[in-house]
Amino acid sequence: MEVKLMNNKKIATTLTVLLFSGSVLVVSAMIVPGFVNTSVAKSIPVVQDTGKQTLTSSKTPVLKVEAETAKTTVSDVNKELEQLMTQEEFQQIYNFADKPDNELTSNREMTEEEANRRLILQDQYLYEGLRPKQSLPLKPGQSEYYWDLDNNRIHYPNRPLTDEELLETTDWYYRLNYGLSKRNIVTPLDSKDLVQADAVALAATSVKKLFGADVSKLEVYANLNDAVILNKKSWLITFAPYKADTLRAQGKDFWQYNVIIDYTTRTVVDTTAANFTLKRTPISAEAAKAIQKDATWIHEATKIVTDKQGETRKITMAYLVDTDKNDSRGMVDVKMLLEDGSSYTAELRYPDKTLRCLLYEEAKATK
């Protein structure tokens, strides 16, 4: 069986999705290697928790897993890699990233059991210092499981991957992520810039407003990037419980929040709540037609913007967008145009109309 893993020549923004898919360092389920300066904050002064989220009775998702003290952080891993990685390794990564066609294929998919073990091992790698005995083979002929970078091919054995092999994969992705991050040099901050503490505070406030969640007991990951996500400098702030990957592998119910902030304007442009135990309900053709005629979806979205977000500018128009794409995802997107040309897009879960994310786009400056 031929399995395609990616189709994007800009591998510097997509390749590490396999490492952090679903983990605390995600933007729409993927980490962006260009993000650097990763750190973990221990606590933030915010308001109290408001209770457990239940989709049938509440519209306020609240994380209920308290953070523990992490032994290490991504920054610690990067410091380790700085000492261990050779120039040859960096060049190997750059050569692969720069290939005109770097779409990876594999002979099979990773099984659910393998994926869950990988999630747990990723946390042990990050927080407990667990390391593989050797590096991931990057050429054929060295092992049953290897990545053939010359031919864009991942070869899985006809057996379950061992913990050692999964650790080798995790280690390779950390090395890949670190290597690519060295290419993305973030301009040093000056006294007038949006510093990390202020960015985290803005993100915590946004999560509280929209989801009623107390993030003070969660791990906080703050990442600054010059251009990868918004084509300009931006902060990515993620709030998640300690060892979120392990919790996910165990099927535990928890929430994590991702917030993107425009560095220049200090504007929150994306606030997203994720819970990996939720089962999405695809929207059938019949249901889609009913949604088009159901004004309560637009009403709910506008209430979120006015009542929770606190927007005072007049909403001049509201309508459904991306319906074909979202039907299969079980999501309903409502775009709301403001009087000055700015806009919000609220993504609501089907069928309960709970908010998944709120996006904001400022009006384009007139020339």
Summarised one tens digit per residue, pLDDT across range 227-255 is: 555 567 899 999 999 999 999 999 999 99
8 A C-beta contact, residue 295 and residue 320: no
pLDDT recorded at residue 22: 34
Distances (CA, A) of 309 to 127, 212, 313, 315: 35, 11, 11, 13
pLDDT recorded at residue 183: 78
User: For 212-295, where are the alpha helices, taking DSSP H only?
Assistant: 244-249, 285-293
Count H helices, E strands: the chain? 10, 13
Report residue 28 as tokens: 């729409």
- Find the Cα–Cα–Cα–Cα dihedral 85, 87, 89, 92, rounded to 10°: 160
Count other C-beta atoms under 10 Å from residue 95's C-beta: 12
Closest to 258 measured CA to CA, from 63, 68, 12, 71: 63
Closest to 213 measured CA to CA, from 27, 40, 65: 65
Closest to 110 measured CA to CA, from 59, 73, 145, 152: 145
Element (H, E) at 219: strand 219-225
Count other C-beta atoms under 10 Å from residue 2's C-beta: 7
Instruction: For 154-177, give the DSSP string.
Output: EE--SSPPPHHHHHHHHHHHHHHH
Instruction: For 77-132, give the DSSP string.
Output: HHHHHHHH--HHHHHHHHHHHT-S----EESSPPPHHHHHHHHHHHHHHHHH----
8 A C-beta contact, residue 266 and residue 144: no
Angle between helices 163-181 and 112-128 (to 10 degrees): 60
8 A C-beta contact, residue 252 and residue 65: yes
CA angle, corner 307, sides to 44 and 273, nearest 5?
50
Closest to 52 measured CA to CA, from 256, 238, 213: 213
Q: Report the C-alpha gap between 27 and 30 in whole angstroms.
A: 5
State what percent of residues in the chain have pLDDT above 70.
76
Q: Report the C-alpha gap between 367 and 52 in whole angstroms.
A: 48
- The correct answer on CATH 3.10.450 for the domain covering 279-367 is yes
pLDDT recorded at residue 67: 47
In this prediction the pTM is 0.75
Q: Report the C-alpha gap between 240 and 219 in whole angstroms.
A: 5
Low-confidence ranges of the chain (pLDDT < 50): 2, 5-67, 70
Give span(s): CATH 3.10.450, the chain.
279-367
As a whole number of Å, the end-to-end CA separation of the chain is 53
Provide CB contacts within 8 A for 198, sequence distance 6+: 266
